[in-house]
Structure 1
């Protein structure tokens, strides 16, 4: 299923650049289904192709191949022909250009080709002009803006903040642009061991933490740098801004092994997976924008890099599995490889390049889960002793149904139609020299309470009595439900065609059921909280009804520790 997802993104009309692919993939690309219809001039903004390029490179990395390498070189050249150095008056949003820097850095990781590293450096250098240096923050001036800057906000320097736009009158240091600059800087630091990139990543992380991280540890949209605007902040926190910040922290923590960075990372993880406005009763991300792409991508990076405690890492594995299943079960249009948003459904029959790339992130994450499980089982990963029965069950399913191949099939299917659509869009934009500058996207908000699906961590005695379910035995990985929901009961019962991960969904409570507290974890920042206490609170927040049957096997006790 996953290989077909890439194909649907890449195949739209005949292109000779796909010759490196195998016969079946090339045949699908050369002769795409006639049902796919789209206006390439209006379907996507400039950042969407960059997102696709990163996914193509990531697919090759995860499957240990180079099928898309030459194709990507052609695509990058086309993108840069439209917007030289990936940022100019035609493409003024800094984070749009940094999508290409991120993609090039991921391509360098996959292929170790210096051409991709050079492209990543080009994008980074363009964005660096719109990121405040220490000297600019102290002087209160920058040559790219026509106003005086605040030298500090709340007594803290603005060093490391990246502007939303190249417009000389844009005053906003933007969380998405700053988060992208953090992430690309960290990737370049990792690739080159150059202290310049590491310093830039640290400055960006410090800026976001100091000025845009709210008490709930989610990231607010932007802060004004204009002196006369007195550091005004747009306080709404968006999932995409928090997601890209989280990914940057994951990479930075892996490089530095700094205790403070790791503590901030842990706090942000918990904030993301417990935010009730981004996910619903069933644990599925209910975001109607591309925030799910950034959240899942960040958590998949964390899972692969193994930079947190084993129990929290196992929770993240289950969280990603729920999103993967949701894409297949709720967001897929029939038997096609067309995916919609939100992942809670219902699916749409119309193709959207943005929706498609968001879904492919979840499918790619499925490959990471399976590959990591295989390497852990064979290589003596220190986390193996802490893996729950969930992994055993998933492993048994993989032996019978070989889901890795199915997931790879789905990714290729989702990407195939999209890449050729992107080529058409970029060619058309180059012809007309039109930029598509969309404003900050607003998430679809929900008041539903998050109650995901963790299978292990704590004993039944730790679950408050008033929150225990008295009905029959739950499914193996239930999503206990609280609050008011119109969602129908749903369970992932069997592995169909080897596509599903071993995660199940339980039924929702009736309308009018009493909801628990919105988020007790948000009472204070949690950087200094021990992992054991953090997980205990997380468990109280998410699993008030996990153990309902005296015959249920109780999970192992948690022991403080960190895997390497």
Structure 2
């Protein structure tokens, strides 16, 4: 009886975390022969090409992009001032996170409307309000990108660095919110839920950055908790994302965010996605099939960028071509795939 129960449990566990980590044979050019020195030079040339656009007075480029600048820079340079800035961000953003107490009271001090305590039977605790240019007191939307970007990713990294339970608990709560509310049956991350009436964004609102940022967050949450469910969820979402037809063709090249003339947020979505994949790749050194899959997928994007979408050291927002004139927002997006290819091919 015990043996039978054990076999049944292992069977269920295997089914729960079974993913198709095979490389699609229809993908275009999924191998790379460039040596490390060449890959670094390609990235450096792209950086040099964008540096003249840097506003030295503000330290910013003329481009609208979300970024984990402070904590990413701290990880790279170990500058304590940058870590302090990341913590200050925590202190600000927590005002937009729905807590358990707020769920019980059905109110958030930053909002002028009653919030739902649950949607479709799942608590709303852990969700992070969308912070836009409009008056934030009447913004009702809770988004996967804000929840994944702010809590499940940034605060998981803070928990890893500082080892303070408050960051860890916040990261777990937000990871749970996305898992409970915003994953469709195909394991693709959905966009948003209304915190007041539980209405949803259209099912067609499928964007790479929602999956990418959650992947990044899960890769860190699984490390700081040691809980196998989070790594299993991460693998499921990645296996679905890299083969999704919502943002790429049969050749595997990402087509989302092709905007050569307008600086819109969609151009940068795929760079957030690639950063998430790169983080997951680096944190799972022993999963051979998984690393091969990401290595090949990243190389598909890298080769497309260099073969079809480049003029000199300027890149196109259309990774499947043709090339376009230089723009800051497109060049910033290209840097993420160029950097990811350095990591994935080592």
* 1:341 partnered with 2:310: no
Deviation at 1:14, TM superposition (A): 9.6
Deviation at 1:365, TM superposition (A): 0.9
* 1:254 partnered with 2:223: yes
Deviation at 1:308, TM superposition (A): 6.4
Cα pair distance change 1:199/1:332, threshold 3 Å = same
Distance in 1 separating the partners of 2:143 and 2:56: 38
* 1:4 partnered with 2:4: no
Question: Which residue of the partner structure matches residue 360 of structure 1?
Answer: 335
- For each residue in 1:321-377, what CA deviation from the matched residue of structure 2 results, as whole angstroms up to 9, or x when unmatched? 1111111111212x2x2111121111111x32221111100000122124xx3xxxx
Distance in 2 separating the partners of 1:184 and 1:258: 18
1:266 pairs, out of 224, 235, 239, with: 235
Equivalent position SS for 2:252: coil
Distance in 2 separating the partners of 1:44 and 1:298: 21
Deviation at 1:278, TM superposition (A): 1.1
- For each residue in 1:96-133, what CA deviation from the matched residue of structure 2 results, as whole angstroms up to 9, or x when unmatched? 4xx2xx21111111121210101111112211110111
Give the root-mean-square deviation of aligned CA atoms.
Answer: 2.1
Question: Which residue of the partner structure matches residue 233 of structure 1?
Answer: 200
Cα pair distance change 1:189/1:170, threshold 3 Å = same
Distance in 1 separating the partners of 2:249 and 2:51: 32
Write out aligned runs for 1:242-391 (5 A).
242-288=211-257, 289-306=267-284, 309-333=287-311, 335=312, 337-349=313-325, 351-370=326-345, 373=346
Deviation at 1:193, TM superposition (A): 0.7
Equivalent position SS for 2:191: strand
| Residues 287 and 343 in structure 1, CA contact (< 8 A), matched pair in contact too | no
Equivalent position SS for 1:129: helix
Write out aligned runs for 1:95-494 (5 A).
96=66, 99=67, 102-165=68-131, 167-181=136-150, 182-226=152-196, 229=197, 231-234=198-201, 235=203, 236-288=205-257, 289-306=267-284, 309-333=287-311, 335=312, 337-349=313-325, 351-370=326-345, 373=346
TM-score of the pair, normalised by structure 1 = 0.49
Deviation at 1:299, TM superposition (A): 1.2
Deviation at 1:237, TM superposition (A): 2.1
Distance in 2 separating the partners of 1:157 and 1:210: 8
| Residues 164 and 172 in structure 1, CA contact (< 8 A), matched pair in contact too | yes
Deviation at 1:13, TM superposition (A): 7.6
| Residues 250 and 302 in structure 1, CA contact (< 8 A), matched pair in contact too | yes
Distance in 1 separating the partners of 2:118 and 2:53: 50
Equivalent position SS for 2:130: coil
| Residues 324 and 366 in structure 1, CA contact (< 8 A), matched pair in contact too | yes
Question: Which residue of the partner structure matches residue 12 of structure 2?
Answer: none
Distance in 2 separating the partners of 1:161 and 1:245: 13
Distance in 2 separating the partners of 1:249 and 1:14: 34
| Residues 161 and 178 in structure 1, CA contact (< 8 A), matched pair in contact too | yes
Distance in 1 separating the partners of 2:207 and 2:54: 36
Equivalent position SS for 1:173: strand
Aligned residues: 290
- Quick check: which has more Rg, 1 or 2? 1
Unaligned runs of 5+ in 2: 1-41, 258-266
TM-score of the pair, normalised by structure 2 = 0.79
Distance in 2 separating the partners of 1:110 and 1:103: 10
